[in-house]
Amino acid sequence: MAQPKYFEELLEIVKPYLPGDVDEATIRPESRFIDDLNINSSHLVDIVLDVEDRYDIRLEDTEMEEMRSVADAIHLVRTKVNPSQNQG
Amino acid sequence: MTRRVVITGMGICAPNATGLDAFEQAMFEGVSGIRRVPLLQELGFRCQVAGAPEVSEATLNTYFTKLEQKSLNCSGLIYGTLAGIQAWKDAGLELENGTDPDWDTGIIFGTSVLGVDKFRESILRVDAGQVRRLGSTSVPQTMASGISAFLGGKLGCGNQVSTNSAACSTGTEAILLAYERIKSGRAVRMLAGSCSDSGPYIWGGFDAMRVVPSQFNDTPESASRPMSASAAGFVPSSGAGALLLETLDSALERKAPIYAEVLGGTVNCGGQRNGGSMTASNSAAVRKCIRGALLDAGVRPESVDVINGHLTATAGDPAEIRNWSEALGRKGADFPYINSFKDVLGHGLAASGSMECVAAVLQFRNNRLIGNRNSNDLHPEIEALIGRDRVPAKNTSYNFNILAKASLGFGDVNACVIFKRFNP
């Protein structure tokens, strides 16, 4: 099961973008980037680029729009990194 | 009863020092910020010496969060932020993170172009078909107002937050715009300043115009020679200066330290007529600007004690001295003391006016004038007009009251501000 690994890795990517008043310990897979973590919407663009660099993948515009929570990002990464497991 | 405007804080990021105390020491010790830049040699520049502040990793960490440093590729923004926040703190103002902006406080922080290195990075990506890879940092680092916008967010300013641009008169113009806004009752406090990027993409155009010296590449510290017979062009430089202006009432209420009073000033343009051009000054306009500044400040020409000129170390220096002399109606031993700080700072372009105003104002509390380090071979026309002793080569003790500062820029634009020793 790859999910914990991806969660930890995404956490590292997201952490620098957290506003000062959001504790990284409160981040859960279901946390939404903008609504729950209070991340500046323009920074989501940078998070997407960091995710692309980290996994050597490319996220299309429609996929970016669907990436609202950490879990959404994990799902996208898993599908892209290992297409054969995309039902997981 | 009109409002009086005073300076209560200053900040500086200059080629010879960063931070007010270090800068004060460097200026009075004549420490040059002009160095040989190997990159300029590699790129085949005629002038391979220049001025650029040295900003340490530790300093960056003090002023920018890790996230702000990520993808940060904009030297002017770094210099301006350092100077701006220093001036703010120096004035005893807090870096609060409250919910409401400070509606009474604004920012005028000028520049010519901001973030040329970031712009280059972005252009290369766009040309490679990678526009999506620009991320969110390209615009805030390449818009001219990126510096005032960044400071506005850091400081929570809710009054006018804007960037002016008037070539090499930008910094002095920023101080006057801030002064006018306070004077007219539209703001209580204004952070005024300017910054200029460093590097070959900023300096290249001047190299191509051959307005910079090429014969001092092995002797950088003697390259910038304002008022000298051997002046061969201005040495390109960079940095930022900032001054916190506020009403006297507010300063007294806050018990803030007061460096000097801003009595007034003016800006104008020679219209690129009567000898004026994109690059040269219309002398009549320069004289009109100086006289206009004195009129606005309510100061008689004979009361000016000290001048800090624009004086870039080009063939224009004798003409500038002549303009000061005619505008004030004073010459020889009757002429005020005059200095130029471009000998050690180089020509900071958009940053020059603000960096030089910080240094000029520091002379009040020292009761000393900063000497003209590279003026030993004074230009004969200048010597004939005002005499050697009006251009002190060494620091000179002087308990003076009125200081006039001018900055002139491409486009035939002029700015002149009058400072006075603070006297309640």
ipTM of the complex: 0.85
Average pLDDT over residues B27-49: 98
Beta-carbon separation of A46 and B66 below 8 A: no
Contact status of B133 with chain A (Cβ, < 8 Å)? yes
pLDDT at A21: 84
Select the residue of B66, B97, B136 nearest A46 (Cβ to Cβ).
Answer: B136
Contact status of B153 with chain A (Cβ, < 8 Å)? no
Chain B residues closer than 8 Å to A49 by CB: 132-133, 135
pTM, full prediction: 0.96
Q: How confident is the model at residue A1 (pLDDT cuts 50, 70, 90)?
A: very low
pLDDT greater than 50 at residue A37? yes
Beta-carbon separation of A17 and B137 below 8 A: no
Average pLDDT over residues A20-45: 92
Q: How confident is the model at residue B168 (pLDDT cuts 50, 70, 90)?
A: very high
pLDDT greater than 50 at residue B23? yes
Select the residue of A16, A45, A49 nearest B67 (Cβ to Cβ).
Answer: A16
pLDDT greater than 60 at residue B34? yes
pLDDT tens sequence across B241-274: 999 999 999 999 999 999 999 999 999 999 999 9
CA neighbor of B107 nearest in space, from B237, B9, B24, B197: B9
Beta-carbon separation of B71 and A16 below 8 A: no
pLDDT at B99: 83
Environment class of A54 (CB within 10 Å of its CB; exposed 0-12, middle 13-18, buried 19+):
middle
Angstroms from B125 CA to nearest CA on chain A: 14
DSSP label of B233: S
Chain A residues closer than 8 Å to B97 by CB: 20
pLDDT greater than 60 at residue A2? no
CA angle, corner A15, sides to A11 and A21, nearest 5? 130
Angstroms from A3 CA to nearest CA on chain B: 26
Terminal alpha carbon distance of chain A: 9
Residue B169, φ and ψ in degrees, nearest 5 = -100, 5
How many angstroms from the chain centroid is the CA of residue B39?
25
Average pLDDT over residues A30-44: 94
Kindly report which listed range (B50-64, B92-106, B333-347, B385-399) carries the lowest average pLDDT score. Answer: B92-106
Average pLDDT over residues B338-367: 98
Beta-carbon separation of A45 and B70 below 8 A: no
pLDDT greater than 80 at residue B1? no
Chain B residues closer than 8 Å to A43 by CB: 136
Select the residue of A16, A20, A45 nearest B136 (Cβ to Cβ).
Answer: A45
pLDDT greater than 80 at residue B144? yes
Chain B residues closer than 8 Å to A17 by CB: 67
pLDDT at A84: 66
Terminal alpha carbon distance of chain B: 15
Select the residue of B67, B133, B137 nearest A17 (Cβ to Cβ).
Answer: B67
One-letter amino acid at B197 equals D
Beta-carbon separation of A16 and B70 below 8 A: yes
A41 or B344: whose pLDDT is higher?
A: B344
- What Rg do the C-alpha atoms of chain B give, in angstroms? 20
Contact status of A42 with chain B (Cβ, < 8 Å)? yes
Average pLDDT over residues B126-154: 97
Give the number of C-alpha atoms closer than 13 A to the C-alpha of residue B145, restricted to the C-beta side.
Answer: 10
CA distances to A66, B92, B93, B253 from B256, rounded to whole Å, are 53, 7, 9, 8
Q: Pick the residue of B67, B68, B122, B133 with the most A CBs within 10 A to test the interface with A by mutation.
A: B67
pLDDT at A88: 44
pLDDT, mean over chain A: 89
Beta-carbon separation of B133 and A49 below 8 A: yes
Contact status of B70 with chain A (Cβ, < 8 Å)? yes
Q: Pick the residue of B66, B133, B136, B137 with the most A CBs within 10 A to test the interface with A by mutation.
A: B136
Q: How confident is the model at residue A85 (pLDDT cuts 50, 70, 90)?
A: low
pLDDT greater than 90 at residue B117? yes
Counted across chains A and B, CB pairs separated by less than 8 A come out at 17
CA neighbor of A15 nearest in space, from A59, A31, A1: A31
Chain B residues closer than 8 Å to A45 by CB: 135-136
Q: Pick the residue of A22, A39, A49, A61 with the most B CBs within 10 A to test the interface with B by mutation.
A: A49
> Helices (H) and strands (E) in chain A — how many of each?
4, 0
